[in-house]
Amino acid sequence: MNLQLKPHSKVEDIHVDHFREDVLEGLKSRSKRLSSKYFYDETGDRLFQEIMAMPEYYLTQCELDIFQNKTADLARLIIPENEPFDLIELGAGDAMKSTFLLQYLVEKGTDFTYMPIDISGHILTELNEKLNQKLPQLEIISLEGEYFKMLQKAASLSSRRKVILFLGSNIGNMHIDEVDQFCSDLNRNLASGDKVLIGFDLKKNPHTILNAYNDRTGITAAFNLNLLTRINAELDADFNLEQFQHYQTYDPISGACRSFLVSLKNQTVTIENESISFEENELIDMEISQKFSAENIEDLREKSGFKKSGEIKDSKKWFVDAVWQV
Ligand code: AVJ
């Protein structure tokens, strides 16, 4: 297969930003909400790095355990036999975990191209530089844009087998119906024999989960409040951050871990000439981080039309990377 693009080239998607529309729609609705996909501006990226470094945020360590200590098992599960392939990572970020797999594959002389997809061009540039230094032989094509548009782009660039990574329990940020839709769309956008590896955070002691999202140092609170700062800066708004407070819940029955911002008084906020009023104790629904049981994961796989390929858990059995095949 002859790739038209040189290693380390970048393909960009011209995407319309719906930030303004989404923010206004969410805050004008009867129960106010903001989308956690907007957490990740430059400050948000940095705060999320800090979250990943917190001892309470076990998710990072768990999936790192899998990628660092079970790399050979992982590679055996995902790579097609004797066939070159494209390894596509959705929401690659700094690829902290996948770099262990990339290094392993490069050392084994595996024929593959790494295609990180992210909506942050800034993050992709940094990732390119980092990987270029660490693994100069690695062939990379960065895809900047939305997941499905970029998956289609990847399919148009090469007809090789695709292996999709969706790590870090990023899937947990989707609402239950969105998860079903996402996995079915993924299935439809892939060809027979292609594989996906999805990281799911498992249901566990509820205290452990709540602590991971309710740290005493207030980093998670700052991460949530930063979206208000972003709205102030980018949409000419006047949120007073002192008047909003982070509140976290975990429901062990449904597995939903949710974050909210609570308005501490009756107040009016202006966003681009629109007035939004808050009552005292009114909530803004900020984020869901869904936790899964083994049954939840099996149901999801079946509903979205995948076959089971295998799975790897960390040594604590708190997190699972499930591998499915089309
Ligand atoms: C990036 C979606 C995996 O939900 O666990 C961390 C984001 N939010 N702490 C998660 C997050 C609060 C994180 N994901």
Q: Which of 147, 173, 215, 261 to mutate to test the pocket of ligand 1 (most atoms within 8 A of CB)?
A: 173
- At residue 131, the pLDDT reads 96
Q: Strand 85-90 and strand 112-118: pairing?
A: parallel
Q: 243 and 268 in contact (C-beta within 8 Å)?
A: no
Residue with the smallest CA separation from ligand 1 atom 4 is 289
Residue with the smallest CA separation from ligand 1 atom 13 is 170
* Among candidate residues 219, 210, 223, 225, the one with its CA nearest the CA of residue 258: 210
pTM of the model: 0.91
Count of other CB atoms within 10 angstroms of residue 121 = 13
- At residue 10, the pLDDT reads 61
Task: Report CA Rg, the chain.
Answer: 20
- Any idea what DSSP says for residue 146? -
* Among candidate residues 92, 154, 97, the one with its CA nearest the CA of residue 118: 92
> 294 CB contacts (<8 Å, ≥6 apart)?
202, 320
Q: Strand 161-166 and strand 112-118: pairing?
A: unpaired
- At residue 3, the pLDDT reads 44
Q: What is the distance in A from the centroid of ligand 1 to the CA of 170? A: 7
* Among candidate residues 181, 176, 170, the one with its CA nearest the CA of residue 256: 176
* Among candidate residues 100, 126, 77, 96, the one with its CA nearest the CA of residue 310: 77
Q: Which of 120, 287, 290 to mutate to test the pocket of ligand 1 (most atoms within 8 A of CB)?
A: 287
For 165, counting Cβ atoms within 10 Å of its Cβ (0-12 exposed, 13-18 middle, 19+ buried), the class is: buried
Q: Strand 139-144 and strand 9-12: pairing?
A: parallel
Nearest atom within ligand 1 for CA of residue 289? 4
Nearest atom within ligand 1 for CA of residue 52? 6
Structure tokens that stand for 317 in this block: 């059995």
Q: Which of 289, 318, 319 to mutate to test the pocket of ligand 1 (most atoms within 8 A of CB)?
A: 289
- At residue 2, the pLDDT reads 39
Beta strand ranges found along the chain (DSSP E): 9-12, 85-90, 112-118, 139-144, 161-166, 195-201, 244-251, 256-263, 267-271, 274-278, 283-290, 307-313, 319-325
Q: Which positions of the chain have pLDDT values less than 50?
A: 1-4, 6, 14-16
Nearest atom within ligand 1 for CA of residue 48? 6
Q: What is the ipTM of this complex?
A: 0.98
- Pocket, ligand 1, Cβ cutoff 6 A: 51, 59, 168-170, 172-173, 213, 220, 223, 287, 289
Q: How far is Cα 149 from Cα 37, in angstroms, rounded to an integer?
A: 17
